Structure 1
């Protein structure tokens, strides 16, 4: 639901009533992951998507029905050999969708409003909802903020809220969106419960070192992929807002000195485009020791071999060198800055999602790799 938080936050501010359909589970080949949502207001206005178009019409009607009767329901949509082009997923997948009305008198409206406001502002928070449990608890929500403080209730025993808050904090720390099951002891409801936890975290960072023409194209690709992009270069004549109007931040500093104080985490990607030893070696010597998601460096194969030799002389270990993606990007035959940026972006996506980078035509690999729940962007860029 939080993947469309900015618009829904506006709806809340306008006092609109609406229903939200959220993907809570998927099986097989499905285009959207848990947390993806479609919302419909009382005027019939719709935003978002739960299936890339396969079942949107049927889900739209479910939202209108939920607005009318006030009930939260979970519906399953899947492929049917007998009626492949009617309501169903012709791609062969199965998705479970929870439809929740957010009416003016709904018990959890204030919690939904707080969660949407947090996600729209880019503040770290997690929202918990029951997707499989007693009817009287469906539609309730619990919000857990970054400091661990909870808001709202799932409507059962206080122990349920404590258990759910603990699960939410763990998933928020990892930036994950997905489902968890808690047993009878934790739920205190006489039965196991399934919870959907949606994590809202600030967008991941991409730091591009080297203010060259290739960097300008990579900034645009990084923004397209949902990253907060910083360009860093020691040369003030090149590191300017005029040359990089789409960058979120431009830093004039020696790359290794800036990286030493930069705020990075396990979702951060570092792209070294300087291909100049005086910048590359001290920068990569530090970068390869950091717990970031990706480190790539531009240069020819000859440059790569020379750079590796220099890094070894600087004390970089073979295990650290193995983390370096160099020459940077996938083999697309790229020549222009834009093609090269696509190549780098494709490698970053493959690394993030567990893809192989091979053509899907004739391959027997999954289309949608599932190497664990990916990091959320501004929620739910589910990962």
Structure 2
């Protein structure tokens, strides 16, 4: 549980410069519109003002929804003031934006979680599926930010989402293990427009004792927003391959060779007509799969990894760059291999991915998954958590291999064993 005092000096903005400057860029261009959900008026400008401005400047629609009036005591005059400031700020950032302001109680969203969830479910259901959904980062240390962030993640589990931290910059330091550095990305913004928009929040920034003090505002007067995305970004893997050709020792470690043999031996059929490998890396497992699959498609988020995989496997497989947050490539598959990749996603995108994999299976298709069991600080999930989600699918368990170091599970539409399929049992 994070506790902090907003009126005390926090971590200076300059302390974050080096880390923020090295973050990968996040491409808003793949989204047709932007839905920003905020807990209070001003959160949208502080945490997502750059994204709002960029989307509006490109001519794409923006919808900003604020859950509370921003007055913990429910004072109607304060709520009216902050609502006026909200509209004034958005006229600076996105004059054509749609603005929705709700009246859920400030500082008590947890006690009214069901009502807020119902409103958010209706909101997301009415938002086009090709929009990006932004919400407060649930780890931000503020009660309302946590509740709103958690609820948006739940109701938008089948959408592209990202989260914006606000108070983290105040209470945390760059070396704090709670900072989700591997998932942080930058969105190019307009510092001048953000400053002008924040100036509209006079009730929060002016007076003798403002809540948003200059030292806090300095965190947001940059030419970018910082978002926590729902998976490790491609740049994370590009950096790994830039440092080493084989970051995990696939080619050299006995552990990896043995694990690869176990994975291939777990496939219940000798041959498959069509196959998909998610996260093929440098193609070492792909090389073995290509001997068993007539038409194998292998995808990865890193072009550097794909270049090495193509050189290794040649035309025995097809390769494509693909972000797993976008689902899976079209088509149906007899076998889908999910090896050492599921824990790079957060839980909701993983569930969404696995559901799409299930739906793409042929009548007797199977999913083969293999993951490392020991925790890795950078990874959003553990291997055990990934396999728990796999086992929760409405598919039959076919094989399972459990060691202290790894898990291998095979699930599919046809519940028969290998011997039963061959007529031996």
TM over 0.5: no
TM value normalised by structure 2 = 0.27
TM value normalised by structure 1 = 0.30
